[in-house]
Structure 1
Amino acid sequence: MAIDPQFEANREKVGEENGVAVWGPVDPPEKHGIHGTHVAVDFDICLADGACLEDCPVDVFTWVDTPGHPESDIKAEPTHEDQCIDCMLCVDVCPVDAIDVDPGRAGRI
């Protein structure tokens, strides 16, 4: 299952972590929700293979710990989503479609 591209309408913003918006539901360690707005990563399906970190030309992502999550103990968080140039490389390389980049959401970070 891929990230919901309509998550802003379908989910509630439940807070922030590391300066990044978090969209629920959140119930650690199993559920961490979607992190980010312009660049959004569904932590619940992210496998943490690192392709987005390796391929991003402007270093939008950083590793964050998610101990006990069933998929992986780390996730790629869009900590620097304001640096995104909308090249979509991260979207293209994510093996589980956990990332959504929407230039229309850039002003709502």
Structure 2
Amino acid sequence: MANQTYVPGGDITSDDKLWGLLSYLLTPIVPIIVLLMEDKKARPYIKYAAVQGLAIGILIVIMAALSFLIIPGCLAGLLGIYAIYLAIKSYQGEYTVIPVVTDFCKKQGWIA
């Protein structure tokens, strides 16, 4: 999975990094909570990580539900490992671009 990084500007606090980490690690629960909290949702970095974390979490849940088929089960595991990688990058303060997910979220207007 190719991964690009871009930084749209703005200050990223340690609190932002922590919420970004949690959004990827404890997906889909934490991203839902973050998106319901107005003060966290107003922070661009937290919102970016939460929306992408939620999208990845939904994919993991769908693939896990289809795990009686071998390939979706393997994909769920791989997405889980990729979510850990994204959490580490998020804690380093990097905006990560997930090839299909980021484009989809941007086209929906969920992230800038």
TM class, shorter-length: under 0.3
Structure number with larger C-alpha Rg = 2
Q: Which has the higher contact order (CA 8 A, sep 6+)?
A: 2
After TM superposition, the score normalised by the length of structure 2 is 0.26
Higher strand share: 1
Higher helix share: 2
After TM superposition, the score normalised by the length of structure 1 is 0.27
